[in-house]
Amino acid sequence: MQGKFYICLLLLSLCCACGYRFSGGEGLLSGKVHSVFVRIFENKSRWSDLDVMITNDIIAKLRQSRSVSFVQKPLEHVLCGTIEHVHMDTLSRSSDGSPQEKFVEIRLSVYLTDLNNNKIWQASFTDREAYYPEQDHELTLRAKKEAMTKVSERLAEWVMNELGQGF
């Protein structure tokens, strides 16, 4: 009698299980790739320091990873990317027509190659962040820069998440 109960409980748990699974054995960074060299991203935008910001954020995320090592020269795999587009626009205006809220949007394409320059992974990411313009131009530039920093950090997180998931 007790055996039937456990069998029913086991069958019930199998039927009710969610589709979650651990990513620890499936992604590129969980066994297929052991070391990564990150090339400075190509910057097609007019923001001169954005390439360094995004590259540094991705390197920081790689250094936090326990499953892959960041290397100073190409040994096994090279992570490359391009800042395809930076778009800024107004989200809302006040009654007099002046901007109340603006946003910055960054589109990034990233790929991973082996040392023979064969692409083994490729993805594109887009993210945006709102900011509030100020009367003072310097404060507005600072708010825009902070929004770009937040987007860069999230893009780096997304790149690492996708690399962890594999193809």
* pLDDT of the residue at 9: 43
Domains and CATH numbers, the chain: 27-165 (3.30.160.150)
Encoding tokens for residue 58?
A: 């991705």
pLDDT single digits (tens) 31-55:
678 788 999 999 999 998 999 999 9
From CA 50, how far away is CA 43, in angstroms rounded? 7
pLDDT single digits (tens) 87-117:
999 888 888 878 889 999 999 999 999 989 9
User: CA angle 70-74-80, nearest 5°?
Assistant: 80
* pLDDT of the residue at 8: 47
Q: What percent helix, strand, coil does the chain show, rounded to 5?
A: 40, 30, 30
DSSP string, 151-166: HHHHHHHHHHHHHHH-
